[in-house]
Amino acid sequence: MQILPLSPDHADAAARLWAECGLTRPWNDPQADFRMAVSGPASQVLGALADDTLVGTVMVGHEGHRGWIYYLAVAPEHRGEGLGRTLVRAAEDWVESQGVPKVMLMIRAENDEVARLYEDLGYVDQGVRVLGRFLDEDLQRMREETAGG
């Protein structure tokens, strides 16, 4: 299976995969996230292709001293093959190639399966709390309604 940097042409396929894997939320535009990541010098989306079909992704970026991993997705029919680990390692290699010494990630609190994957790869809780808020009141309301408050 080939892991390579994706192009803007892969936006639709990536968004479909992310939706299939439960990574999208109504208040986020996955195609906009994808296009931004593949257009900037400090970010990229890496993809796993099987017979020209996108079956895995990882978005990676950095802010100078710290890299970030996002949108790790593996098509359900390819889970259990080690592809998630391969994509994380590819993301780490990308971060390291940028001269960045550390990589971070955020996962949803209820996502125990993915937490175990990252812990098995040596990731540990960094002891930070992530806070956020929407600057658009309609998006904030949508978030609150979807999350139950």
Q: What is the per-residue pLDDT for 149? A: 42
Please name the amino acid found at residue 20.
E
The two three-digit tokens of residue 134, written as one number: 């929407």
User: Model-level pTM?
Assistant: 0.89
Once rounded to an integer, what is the mean pLDDT over residues 42-65? 97
Q: What is the CATH number of the domain that holds 16?
A: 3.40.630.30
pLDDT single digits (tens) 88-108: 999 999 999 999 999 999 998
Parent domain of 84: 2-147
The two three-digit tokens of residue 40, written as one number: 């900037």
How many separate domains does the chain show?
1
Q: How many distinct helices (H) and strands (E) make up the chain?
A: 5, 5
The two three-digit tokens of residue 130, written as one number: 């992530």
